[in-house]
Structure 1
């Protein structure tokens, strides 16, 4: 099982201007639709449809994550469109949708997610070790560090989007 070590920041809208100024170099843009099929306090299972906006290529993934905060276990693998559609049709949930911009900043890859259904933009940075993550000093324009604030997690936002449909309430 792989480990995901990442910090997450509440990205102010004006920070996206860094793309225009050249401080951020855009690498790719993806359209992501994600739905959770099982969630508890420590674990989650989700499926995603990911469309590469540059090439039009569509991929589908299934992901298991365990843990909260800075370090989580993660297993992700590709699934077929048919499996993705079966899951979506079986549960009838509304997918959380967002555009993800992947960019280079200061020799580091950053991912910026802009959500459709809520007023939210976040920036994520992944690290190779906990020590590297803890030593990282983010520039002010990244915004507030929300890595440990559960109200900004994708699964929390997704659950709120489901309303009465979510049986885990």
Structure 2
């Protein structure tokens, strides 16, 4: 596959020829099929296409992805990680940042694979592991995370301080 900013091409190279075929996406509509180019697709669809290489790679690699959940539905993010872990096994590694709390699931990842980042008042970041909390393996941790038990949860007032607003 070869990608430009607005299009995606399938590249077929032989010793004699080079052939590039533009990929189009067919959406079924009430009045028949409609073809979309990459530029016509949503940010979420483009994000999934960007991540396909991670799932299709046969090489042993470390993949680093910033904001894995960007433009994706939480179910897609969860399914992506689940597929990666099943396919990659111990051969490859995925290191990602995310705000998707649904990934805080011991059925998906181990305690030592979950890390949090918390900023202090001066804006300094502190990185720490879920291992520090010694939670049981059967505990549902997403709710506890959202409630602030593990830190790493922004306080709205500190992000958007409005006069007269009470913290919290």
Tell whether the structures are fold-level matches, with TM greater than 0.5: no
Structure whose alpha-carbon radius of gyration is higher: 2
**TM-score relative to the length of structure 1:** 0.22
Query: Is the strand fraction higher in 1 or 2?
Result: 1
Q: Which has the higher contact order (CA 8 A, sep 6+)?
A: 1
